[in-house]
Chains A and B, each alone.
Chain A
Amino acid sequence: QVQLEQSGAEVEKPGASVRVSCKASGYRLIDYDINWVRQASGQRPEWMGWMSPNSGSTGYVYKFQDRVTMTWDSSKSTAYMELKRLTSEDTAVYFCAVGIEGSTYSFDHWGQGTLVTVSS
């Protein structure tokens, strides 16, 4: 059974950084990219990019490219997404997601989400 277990809610000040974790289990982890999607309250989901646990390769959406880092710790079967220089516009629920059935980019498994609040 595929499970993606995310870390708990975070409150950060503007200008700070946040790191969200996503522990994966229940499938052959290295075979599938881990994606990060965020969603502000009442808004559409926004895809941030992907990370390959197999190779460590990453692909970041341009608007996040200079602020985001996605990594994998194979010893812990855990993916991390770090976002730097936070502003109030980064307040959102952050999800990790995997596409196993179908396409790599149609996500059939999701973490429960991590609320990141940026407030002074």
Chain B
Amino acid sequence: EVVMTQSPAALSVSPGETCTLSCRASDSVSDQVAWYQQKPGQAPRLLVYGASTRATGIPARFSASGSGTDFRLTISGLRSEDCAVYFCQQYKSWPSSFGGGTRVEVK
């Protein structure tokens, strides 16, 4: 099973700033990576699929890149509503697997 490792586990950022979340796969997963945002008591919300394609309705301040084993999600111009846990997921290798998440706090 491909293990997805996210870093950092948590970060605190001021409004308007930019943060970058990282996700590393234990084996190459090509570009078969998705990113999700999850708020307390809610289902995950798809932000990005195919490593870099924003899902419908996702603001342009969310951008993502990467291929192979290293992936990044960048959130620009952070807003208070971006407070959430962000998960990466690989779906190249069976079974699909998720990272442990990065908790983002907006100060």
A residues apposed to B, CB below 8 Å: 44-47, 49, 61-62, 95, 97, 101-103, 105-108, 110-113
Q: How many residues of B contact A (CB 8 A)?
A: 22
Interface string of B39-68 (1 = CB under 8 A from A): 000011110011001011000000000000
Q: Do A103 and B56 contact each other (CB < 8 Å), given the known contacts A45-B98, A110-B44?
A: no
How many residue pairs link A and B with beta carbons under 8 A? The number is 60
Task: State the majority secondary structure of interface residues on B.
Answer: loop
| Contact of A106 with B98 in the complex, beta carbons under 8 Å | no
The closest CB in chain B to the CB of A4 belongs to: B43
B49 & A44 in contact (Cβ 8 Å cutoff): no
Please report the C-alpha to C-alpha distance between residue A102 and residue B64 in the assembled complex, in whole angstroms: 15
B60-102 vs A, Cβ < 8 Å mask (1 yes, 0 no): 0000000000000000000000000001010100011111110
Q: In the docked arrangement, what's the CA distance between A80 and B54, Å? A: 30
Given contacts A47-B97, A97-B43, A107-B34, 10 further A-B contacts (CB under 8 A): A44-B101, A45-B36, A45-B44, A45-B98, A102-B50, A102-B55, A105-B96, A107-B44, A108-B56, A111-B43
**Chain A neighbourhood of B28, CB < 8 A:** none
A44's partner among B53, B56, B100 (CB-CB below 8 A) is B100
User: Inside 8 A of B100's CB, which chain A residues have their CB?
Assistant: 44
